[in-house]
Amino acid sequence: MAHREDVLAVYQRPSDPTLPQIGMAEQPVQLLQETRVPLPGAPGKPERYDYEYERKGTASIFMFSQPVVGWRRVSVRDHRTAIDWAEESRILLEEDFPEEAKIALVCDNLNTHTIASL
């Protein structure tokens, strides 16, 4: 609970152009393929899909955003490892915000989001 209060405190800070507040989220997804051809739609009937599918793997979506100014970056990776998170953090610091001496990064409490990952 204390970490949630820390996050709320970050969001209540006054806007400071020298300290961008960046939110980060991850989303695992399944990659699916239809196993049957959908039935075409007709007037009054939508196109119909079978519930059966073939799994074609997984991926992880990383999203960084700065809602105050309307900025975001999304990338897709094969995995969600500490190395993937560290690389996404490097891109954020070195490519997205290279001029900033410091940023406030708000992210969830996953096992890969630690200083040891960096």
pLDDT category at 109 given cuts 50, 70, 90 is low
The residue count for the chain: 118
pLDDT category at 3 given cuts 50, 70, 90 is low
Asked if residue 104 belongs to a domain, the reply is yes
Asked if residue 40 belongs to a domain, the reply is no
Average pLDDT score over the chain: 87
Asked if residue 61 belongs to a domain, the reply is yes
Closest CA to 48 of 38, 58, 57, 63: 38
* pTM of the complete model: 0.73
Question: Per the structure, how many domains does the chain have?
Answer: 1
Q: What tokens appear for 40 in the block?
A: 């075409």
Which has the minimum average pLDDT: 23-27, 37-41, 80-84, 114-118?
A: 114-118
Q: Which domain holds residue 88?
A: 21-35+51-117
Asked if residue 8 belongs to a domain, the reply is no
pLDDT category at 110 given cuts 50, 70, 90 is low
Asked if residue 57 belongs to a domain, the reply is yes
As a whole number, mean pLDDT of residues 48-62 equals 92
